[in-house]
């Protein structure tokens, strides 16, 4: 999935963080010749320092701080950059010892010294960090783990992170001899550890938390509709935003999950519309009235993008991807906002069209429905035909990844600018 603003701002953040790291590394050298005379050693050092910088930045991105959400245009965009940064940092971690071995004139002696010898704590810390990150990242990326197991593997990242910090603090390198570089790199790693502590331990207690209770539970086919009532201060949210939710029901567990708000801002009850798509969501019909609920948020900028657009907006929902649009179009109607839009609601069959009647009442002729069992997969061409072309339009997409990816490729082939295609992507693991 592509978001121009998020990607541009990520490289801006990279430029600031990595630029300062590289600048301090150069200052640590006695002369430029010390860099040029030992190019592989220099590459090794740059790779290691860059990896440490990106690891720290990655933990900051995972902290859910509003500064990053505002910078990238929504928490879902932040997590995409978090995933990209994590993979980049890991690749650099692997490259760092590889170039270290290649920089030696005696490869076997280097293997003995850096890999096999266990007498030097600084090298041992580095090996433990690399082994820990490799194991946990391999599980994260290549193994389809249940969500609760995935959470544990992510929380264990603190262990190799501590070993990485010890490695950087004890290794006899430029970091050891040049105080400004030492303060910067170790400071970043400590900030990363602090970000981890906030996200994993403190967030539940001091994050943006509100107390709610279950008012009503409705079943709409494969969708569990949960209506929540505030117990004290009510959530102040924008249309199309989402929250992280913890349900206080022992039959469901205390896992935290993100769900879009399908009700409009200003309504007394918060409505969550959740499709049964796994073990956790399949247990939600067990919720009962009066069950306690904790909401964290709100997050996201999906609706804001639609409401501030000066172009006609084409909203495309696939299946349960309709939830943020329910909030947006309800808000447009309630506030009598003059926004030119079309909402395309694609569903598998009529039994899967839980919100068709509600949307027909709200959106009227601005709603276009698509039954994929009857009409085949939704295509960019069919969308263009339904909305009178795609020129000078803002396109908002929310639905299955395969659908969003396929439509994006088709839109680009038809000449739609990347900056006019906006996603709500709920792969928020991080």
The answer to whether the 209-300 and 304-423 domains have the same CATH topology is: no
CA distances from 334 to 230, 305, 328 (A): 21, 18, 10
Inter-helix orientation angle 39-61/4-28, to 10°: 130
Give 3's pLDDT tier (boundaries 50, 70, 90). Answer: low
Dihedrals phi, psi of 297, to nearest 5 degrees: 140, -155
Distance from chain centroid for Cα 256: 15
Whole-number Å distance between alpha carbons of 71 and 78: 9
Q: What is the pLDDT of residues 314-341, one digit of tens each?
A: 999 999 999 999 999 999 999 999 889 9
Whole-number Å distance between alpha carbons of 286 and 420: 41
- For domain 209-300, the CATH superfamily is Translation factors (2.40.30.10)
Is the separation of the CB atoms in 191 and 199 below 8 Å?
Answer: no
Distance from chain centroid for Cα 61: 9
Give me 350's structure tokens: 């009529």
Q: Which helix (H) or strand (E) holds 344?
A: strand 341-347
What is the reported pLDDT for 426?
A: 62
In CATH terms, 304-423 corresponds, of 1.10.1200.10, 3.40.50.300, 3.30.70.1140, 3.40.50.80, to: 3.40.50.80
What is the reported pLDDT for 1?
A: 41
Is the separation of the CB atoms in 240 and 303 below 8 Å?
Answer: yes
pTM of the predicted model as reported, rounded to 2 decimal places: 0.88
Statement: residue 396 has pLDDT above 50: yes
What is the reported pLDDT for 306?
A: 84
Statement: residue 427 has pLDDT above 80: no
Q: Which helix (H) or strand (E) holds 243?
A: strand 242-248
Whole-number Å distance between alpha carbons of 430 and 428: 6
Among 141, 165, 168, residue whose Cα is nearest residue 154: 141
Statement: residue 375 has pLDDT above 80: yes
Q: What is the pLDDT of residues 61-107, one digit of tens each?
A: 999 999 999 898 889 889 989 989 999 999 999 999 999 998 888 88
Give domain limits for the chain: 4-206, 209-300, 304-423
């Amino acid at each position: 999935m592509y978001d121009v603003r998020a990607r541009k701002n990520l490289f801006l953040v990279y430029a600031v963080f990595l630029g300062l790291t590289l600048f301090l590394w150069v200052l640590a050298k006695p002369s430029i010749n010390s860099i040029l005379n030992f190019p592989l050693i220099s590459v090794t050092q740059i790779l290691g320092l860059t990896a440490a910088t990106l690891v720290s930045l990655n933990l900051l991105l995972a902290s859910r701080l509003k500064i990053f959400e505002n910078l990238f245009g929504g928490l879902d965009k932040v997590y995409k950059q978090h995933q990209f940064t994590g993979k980049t940092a890991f690749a650099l971690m692997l490259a760092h010892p590889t170039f270290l071995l290649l920089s030696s004139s005696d490869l076997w002696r280097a293997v003995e010294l850096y890999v096999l010898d266990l007498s030097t704590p600084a090298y041992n810390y580095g090996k433990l960090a690399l082994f820990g990150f490799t194991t946990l990242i391999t599980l994260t990326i290549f193994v389809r783990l249940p969500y609760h197991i995935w959470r544990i593997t992510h929380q264990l990242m603190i262990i190799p992170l501590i070993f990485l910090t010890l490695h950087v603090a004890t290794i006899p390198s430029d970091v050891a001899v040049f105080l400004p570089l030492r303060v910067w790199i170790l400071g970043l790693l400590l900030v990363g550890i602090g970000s981890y502590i906030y996200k994993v331990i403190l967030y539940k207690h001091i994050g943006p938390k509100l107390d709610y209770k279950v008012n009503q539970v409705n079943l709409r086919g494969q969708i569990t509709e949960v209506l929540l009532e505030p117990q004290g201060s009510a959530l102040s949210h924008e249309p199309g935003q989402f929250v992280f939710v913890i349900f206080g029901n022992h039959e469901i567990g205390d896992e935290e999950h993100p769900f879009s708000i399908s009700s409009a801002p200003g309504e007394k009850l918060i409505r969550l519309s959740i499709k049964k798509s796994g073990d956790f969501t399949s247990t939600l019909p067990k919720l009962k009235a009066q069950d306690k609920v904790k909401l964290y948020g709100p997050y996201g900028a999906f609706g804001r993008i639609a409401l501030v657009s000066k172009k006609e907006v084409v909203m495309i929902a696939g299946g349960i991807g309709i939830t943020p649009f329910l909030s947006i179009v309800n808000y447009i109607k309630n506030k009598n906002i003059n926004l030119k839009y079309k909402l395309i609601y694609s569903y598998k069959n009529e039994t899967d069209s839980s919100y068709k009647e509600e949307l027909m009442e709200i959106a009227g002729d601005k709603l276009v429905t698509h039954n994929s069992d009857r009409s085949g997969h939704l295509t960019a061409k069919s969308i263009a035909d339904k909305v009178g072309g795609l020129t000078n339009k803002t396109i908002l997409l929310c639905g299955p990844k395969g659908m969003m990816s396929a439509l994006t490729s088709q839109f680009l082939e038809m000449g739609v600018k990347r900056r006019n295609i906006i996603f709500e992507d709920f792969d928020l693991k991080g």
